[in-house]
Amino acid sequence: MVTGGASGIGRAIAQRFGSLGETVVVADLERTGRDGEATDELISRGGGRAEFVRADVASPAEVQELIDGVRERFGRLDVMVNNAGIAGRHNKQLIETTDEDWDAIMAVNLRGVFLCCRASVRAMLGQDPIDDVRGHVINISSQHGMVGPPASPAYAASKGGVVNLTRQLAVDYASRGIMVNAVAPGKILTGSVEQQDPEALAYSHARTPFARLGRPDDVAGAVVFLASPDARFVSGTNLLVDGGWMAY
Ligand SMILES: NC(=O)c1ccc[n+]([C@@H]2O[C@H](COP(=O)([O-])OP(=O)(O)OC[C@H]3O[C@@H](n4cnc5c(N)ncnc54)[C@H](O)[C@@H]3O)[C@@H](O)[C@H]2O)c1
């Protein structure tokens, strides 16, 4: 299951799992991304198995329905990727951040991750372990959950919350075979590059030692690793995929 899987990083993660022969459920507000394509159809066209479920991760009822539906149709939920997130127009300096801006970011980025973790961990606790692991939860955090990025207090606080929620759940559920990890992307080019603020892009290039900025598929590789048997003893980590951004 990949939330926010209709576009960007979530689409790349869903496609990567699809290409590995896994059954993928794409959950998002809309079925199609900015390019008008539906991730589930892209996966099906490539010979994989995928379906779309409309769900708002900020709604407890919709999240519960989403997880219940997956268990009913497929019998178990092996990997929950909590990727849906927003910033955009709500991302402002502290003084300009309205109550609505703060609540809008928190509702999706932190409450949404909490709701999806709660519902998916509950479901995973009821299924038999495979090779000692009942299930993997992988939260998409951000390098901005570990430092104070310029002018993004709500986003930074939401992602910092995701990083520590990840650690907490890893501690509480590893004994029952549920592995909880995060992946922290650095600057990944998603959406329309023309829409990106040139100043912000220049800042990202200056902060990224690697010769280019990230691609969604760079993040997908790390997520697939954390969901693989090779990572069966890994829990509570926040794996940076940032081209070296956080190394200095
Ligand atoms: N792109 C980057 O540089 C970058 C860097 C660090 C972290 N991240 C994180 O990676 C994740 C994906 O980012 P992206 O750049 O691919 O963004 P994106 O905007 O391309 O995709 C986000 C997806 O989430 C969906 N979504 C938003 N609100 C939702 C809700 N309430 N319920 C269900 N789905 C919802 C959107 O419809 C969209 O399809 C986010 O959590 C983001 O904070 C991105």
Distance CA 194, CA 1 (A): 30
User: DSSP class of residue 59?
Assistant: -
Distance CA 222, CA 179 (A): 15
**Catalytic residue check, 155:** yes
Taking the domains of the chain in order of start, what are their residue ranges?
A: 2-247
208 lines ligand 1 (CB under 6 A): no
For 49-129, strand residue ranges (E) read: 49-54, 79-82
Q: Which residue has the tokens 């519960």?
A: 64
Residue 194, pLDDT above cutoff 70: no
For ligand 1, atom 43: residue with the closest CA:
85
Atom of ligand 1 nearest to the CA of 188: 3
Residue 14, pLDDT above cutoff 80: yes
Distance CA 248, CA 185 (A): 16
For ligand 1, atom 24: residue with the closest CA:
4
Q: How far is the CA of 226 from the centre of ligand 1 (A)?
A: 19
pTM for this one? 0.98
Identify how many contiguous H helices and E strands the chain contains and give both numbers.
8, 7
Torsion-angle region of residue 185: left (phi > 0), alpha (psi -120 to 50) or beta? beta
Q: Is 76 helix (H, G, I), strand (E, B) or coil?
A: coil
What is the tens place of the pLDDT at every residue in 127-183? 999 999 999 999 999 999 999 988 999 999 999 999 999 999 999 999 999 999 999
Atom of ligand 1 nearest to the CA of 204: 3
Number of CB atoms found within 10 A of residue 61's CB? 10
Residue 57 in tokens: 């991760």
For ligand 1, atom 7: residue with the closest CA:
142
What is the tens place of the pLDDT at every residue in 52-68? 999 999 999 999 999 99
Atom of ligand 1 nearest to the CA of 143: 6
Q: Which CATH number does 2-247 carry?
A: 3.40.50.720
Residues 6+ apart with CB under 8 A from 66: 1, 25, 27, 53, 55, 119
Distance CA 51, CA 22 (A): 12
Q: How far apart are the first and last CA of the chain?
A: 34
11 lines ligand 1 (CB under 6 A): no
Q: How far is the CA of 131 from the centre of ligand 1 (A)?
A: 32
189 lines ligand 1 (CB under 6 A): no
120 lines ligand 1 (CB under 6 A): no
